[in-house]
Amino acid sequence: MAIILGIESSCDDTSAAIIKDGILLSNIIANQSVHEFYGGVIPELASRAHQQNIIPVVSVAIKTAKIEKNEISAIAFTRGPGLMGSLLVGVSFAKGFAKALDVPMIEVNHLQGHILAHFLDEKDKKNPHPEFPFLCLLVSGGHTQLVVVKDFLTFEIIGKTVDDAAGEAFDKCAKVMGLPYPGGPVIDKLAKDGNPNAFAFAHPVVGGLDYSFSGLKTSFLYFLRDRITENPDFIEENTADLCASLQNDIIHVLLKNLMKASEQTKIKEIAISGGVSANSALRNAIAAEGKHRGWNVYLPQLKFTTDNAAMIAITGYFKYLNGQTCGYDVTPTTRM
């Protein structure tokens, strides 16, 4: 029997989860509303909030799972990438707790966690698991990557953003329109009433399977600046169309390379992961394209798209089965 406690604290969500023999028993997430006022994550405030949240969140995860802490076999934690101050809280807590329980620690790459979220199963819900090798479009606030997943622990990045991540493009453009943070889910909602073809913004040109979103963001910014000069109410009068058009452009860019990658690798097992994979239009677009191309498409449950410790615990579980533990001298790292 293996019981893994997973801990996630890479950005602005404090989360703890318990997995027993591959089955998720609890997944507790404390969001940090303190950042909304600033329109983005303030690292110093994030680490302070993690510090306050970590003990209650772990405690509730253990209680909800109906286990005793001395039944825990190992503690998996996000080692990076992420904000240093945020990671430090999770890593330090994991060290102290692992030492107290005298159990091994397992370091987890946050991005691998997002991908392996596809293998999370709950007592009453088995999720469809992609077959290896599969192609994963990993789209979050900090990363945009195309990854070939060869087995639970072997990954090859075949494309990545050269500047902003897709989630960053959503969030920054939302901020320009005066929408609250995080902008991605807000744009998703407002776009439902808009025309995706109302406006068009500059599409980036980068080689191979790489992505770029900073040009699109700048094009959006300049477009708004010019229109506001003519009509100061332009944003208010066109919010839905702006959201739908921007979202449409981001999805178009994401899908173009995903299709190219599938053709190049001949892989038709297609998954998406990360916060932006919660986007309803992206999910619909990939499902439709998949039907057309004969892909098996895997869309994660919404609760496993944005940051959570369940994905860290399941990755830790696979590493535990493979004997991949680490020493108590492990340190967090902002890039991995």
Q: Which sign does the torsion angle of CA 91, 93, 94, 96 carry?
A: positive
The residue within the footprint of ligand KG4, chosen from 307, 314, 315, 318 (CB under 6 A), is 307
185 binds ligand KG4 (CB under 6 A): yes
Please tell me the distance from the alpha carbon of residue 184 to that of residue 186, in angstroms, as a whole number: 5
Enumerate residues 6+ apart whose C-beta is below 8 A from 257: 146, 159, 209, 210, 211
The residue within the footprint of ligand KG4, chosen from 113, 141, 159, 290 (CB under 6 A), is 141
DSSP per residue over 162-190, as a string? Answer: SS--HHHHHHHHHHHTTPPSSHHHHHHHH
Helix (H) or strand (E) holding 29: strand 23-31
Angle between helices 234-265 and 214-230 (to 10 degrees): 160
Shortest approach of ligand KG4 to residue 164 CB, angstroms? Answer: 10
Enumerate residues 6+ apart whose C-beta is below 8 A from 214: 163, 164, 204
Shortest approach of Zn ion to residue 138 CB, angstroms? Answer: 9
Nearer to Zn ion, 83 or 261 (CB): 83
Segment interacting with ligand KG4 (CB under 6 A) among 176-184, 234-242, 286-294, 324-332: 176-184
Helix (H) or strand (E) holding 82: none
The residue within the footprint of ligand KG4, chosen from 279, 299, 313, 317 (CB under 6 A), is 279
The site for ligand KG4, by CB under 6 A, has a size of: 19
212 binds Zn ion (CB under 5 A): no
306 binds ligand KG4 (CB under 6 A): yes
Scan residues 276-315 and list those touching Zn ion (CB under 5 A): 307
The site for Zn ion, by CB under 5 A, has a size of: 2
Nearer to Zn ion, 72 or 111 (CB): 111
